[in-house]
Structure 1
Amino acid sequence: MTGTAPKDPVRVLVIDDSASIRIAFKKLIAEDPGLEMIGAAADPFQAAEMMRERLPDVLLLDLQMPRMDGLTFLKKIMSQRPMPVVVISSFTEAGSRASLRALELGAAEVLAKPRIATAEDRREAAIRLCDAIHAAYQSGRGASGRGTRRNVARLRALAPGERFSADVILPPMAARPGAGPPMIAIGASTGGTEAVREILESLPVGLPPIAVVQHMPEHFTRAFAERLNALCAIAVKEAEDGDVLVPGQAVIAPGDRHLVLRRDGRTYRTELRAGPCVSRHRPSVDVLFRSVAQAAGQGGLGVLLTGMGDDGAAGMGEMRAAGAWTIAQDEASCVVYGMPRAAEELGAVCQTLPLDRIAREIIARSGRDDRKAAS
């Protein structure tokens, strides 16, 4: 990603009770010249004192802290002075549930505590952390949970690191495939947890199988899938290797694994793959979309939602070239209009729609005109 950088670095305040984590964040943030860590607080009370002197552009907030937990502080911030927040949580089940609650309260991004045992761990942690901070800043997300996007014409180059295409996980198509059984693929990033929820909640049972890549850390996607399963008419689960996809079901790509679909007669099976980040993400929307282009061809339907960067744009182009119908969320309803815009610029989009019309279009394109279910 290239483009115009903000004139001044994005100011970041870290709130975490662990001194070692605060030091680690300082080193990781220093990897990106477009970021400036203006302070580190051990708890929300200390952070509040620091914010009286100088307001940050983005808060990096731990959820598990003594004296006042991160969720309580997040509620106070969003009610008194909404600002972009990236929450940091543990891998525990309780941490995953708290992270989803933080996103509902208006946090822009969720990250797991970084692993920096090796040079590769450090490189990936720097990319994920710095990209998440920039995404939060671009969203300007506050208490409403909707973006008040910053006036930045282009997404800047972010943390250093080599970029890989989907080729490192799945070779490109040798020839255009025929039409496979109907299949729906959805990709999303910043702001996507609520966008995906809104769409899946509006879908009736009986539609073709659905595969979703939402950029989230490992372990957190299981809690996300469980929450959706409790809210939706369709069944929702975190994908496992070898799952047979069935109508009326959606699978969520697990964090830290790429999701590939393979045709198996008249059905599809999932493959979970390790490997490098693709388009700076694992799981990557580009990998899912390429696999759907190859397996479903004209039977595919691709949806690209809010998110920073360009993950999914190239894969959506391959889906369209294979004869699939492709839909991008429009700028006005995106928290961050990055991924859909990149797809538009590549000519990969058949149709651009506001978020509240996408479910109805999926139903109509899938042979169901159940507008009552989508209202």
Structure 2
Amino acid sequence: MEAKKIRVLIVDDSLVFREVISMGISSEPYIEVVAKAVDPFDARDKILEFHPDVMICDVQMPKMNGIEFIKRLLPQYPLPIIVVSSINKSLVDAMEAGAVDFVSKPDVQSTNSVKDFIGTLIEKINTCYGVNVVSGKKKKSVSFNISQQINTNKIIAIGSSTGGTEAVYNILKTFPENMPGILIVQHIPPVFSRMFAERLNSQTKLQVREAQGGEYVETGKVLIAPGDKHMTIKRIGNKYKIQLFRGEKVNGHCPSVDVLFESVAKEASKNAIGIILTGMGYDGAKGLRYMRRKGAQTIGQDEKSSVVYGMPKVAYEIGAVEKQVSLDNIPEVLFGMLR
């Protein structure tokens, strides 16, 4: 019996890009391009007709831009969407709108650029197929206040991948400005990590920056690993200093969640809390287990609220997760650990 193919809809007003994408991803026997659309209205009709499993969508299109289209589409048709754009800022906006993943458009004059683009796109199609698309009405944000009984000297380490940009935002937006220092590894390309940090900085009460290396972990501050460097910490007295370095991919990623978690386990041990969120694969699972063995408290996102229940699933199965809860309940559980 022939295996079921992943049905893909391509939405782009450029004939060139529609054909580049279609020919490229169709080289994989398990991917079938069932339709191509020139704008969001054409795409809406094609979705109803062909019932695709994954949609690849441009941002700049006639009649309606891709961001607005995603916002209108998802509440009625929760479809995994990969945004493809040449405008980097659009990709961060797309994640906020509900897209599952994103890829930068290549230079069509460069054979290597197009080849890399298609390879990345194929990988992301495979990742996005069958994921849990979280859509619908935005829940009212719940904010927490820190009392004097809460330990602000802790260090909080967070790891996430597919679906993680929104998961991280949904957690951080509930935090007050005097939270313990937070370190984040999100699997994200270079440039996007800086824009992701800028978005979080503008939309939360915390000071969020892309790590530069040499900073200290401080109350009220969040540092996000650059998209092409591993991030670790080094204890100096009663402070923790950030270290960044380029290195081989660990578990297929640089930055790697495992690299951060293992460093936090060694340097902070029981003075740390580790959180593993939605993501494909197993990066972070062993590092979180190491944290727990060194006395740190750990939290894992549950299956129902995860876009991809991969990383938190592996972590839970190997005993790395002390408490497994929904995304909405993570802040409350975390605050309980800080008291």
1:134 aligns with 2:115: no
Say whether 1:222 aligns with 2:214: no
Check if 1:235 corresponds to 2:231: no
Match runs of 1:1-375 below 5 Å: 7-26=3-22, 28-30=24-26, 32-48=28-44, 50-51=46-47, 53-78=49-74, 80-90=76-86, 92=87, 95-96=88-89, 98-114=90-106, 122=115, 125=117, 128-141=120-133, 143-144=135-136, 182-366=154-338, 369=339
What's the CA shift for 1:103? 2.4
- 264-273 or 18-27, larger mean C-alpha shift: 18-27
1-structure distance, mates of 2:337, 2:114:
42
TM-score (norm 1): 0.75
8 A contact 1:244–1:269 mirrored in 2: yes
Shift of 1:207: 3.4
Identity percentage of aligned residues: 42
Could you list the per-position Cα deviations for residues 330-374 of structure 1 after superposition, in whole angstroms to 9, with x for gaps in the alignment? 2222222211111111221122122222222322323xx4xxxxx
Distance 1:324 1:193 in 2: 24
Distance of 1:67 and 1:356 partners within structure 2: 36
2:142 corresponds to which residue? none
Q: 1:122 to 1:329 in 2, by over 3 A?
A: same
1:92-141 per-position Cα deviation (integer Å, ceiling 9, x unaligned): 4xx42x33332233222222225796869946x45642332233322242
The offset of 1:213, in angstroms, is 1.4
**TM-score normalized by the length of structure 2:** 0.82
Q: Specify the code of the residue in structure 2 equivalent to 1:70.
A: G
Q: Which residue of 2 aligns with 1:168?
A: none
Tell me if the contact between 2:189 and 2:227 (Cα under 8 Å) persists in the aligned partners.
Answer: yes
**Once the 2 structures are TM-superposed, how far is the Cα of residue 53 of structure 1 from its aligned partner?**
4.3
Which structure is richer in relative contact order (CA contacts within 8 A, separation 6 or more)? 1
Q: CA deviation at 1:17?
A: 3.7
2:274–2:299 CA contact under 8 A, matched in 1: yes
Are the structure 2 counterparts of residues 27 and 213 from structure 1 closer, same or farther at C-alpha, using a change threshold of 3 Å? farther
Would you say how many aligned residue pairs link Structure 1 and Structure 2? 323
CA contact (8 A) 1:241 1:270 kept: yes
Secondary structure at 2:74's aligned position in 1?
helix
Q: Secondary structure at the match of 1:332?
A: coil
Contact 1:110-1:216 within 8 A present in 2 as well: no
Q: 1:340 to 1:30 in 2, by over 3 A?
A: same
Residue 228 of structure 1 aligns to a residue whose secondary structure is helix
Give the unaligned 5+ runs of structure 1. Answer: 1-5, 147-180, 370-375
The one-letter code matched in structure 2 to 1:338 is G
> Which structure 2 segments of 5+ residues have no match?
139-152
How far the C-alpha of 1:237 sits from its partner, in A, is 1.4
Distance in 2 (CA, whole Å) between partners of 1:77 and 1:51 is: 10
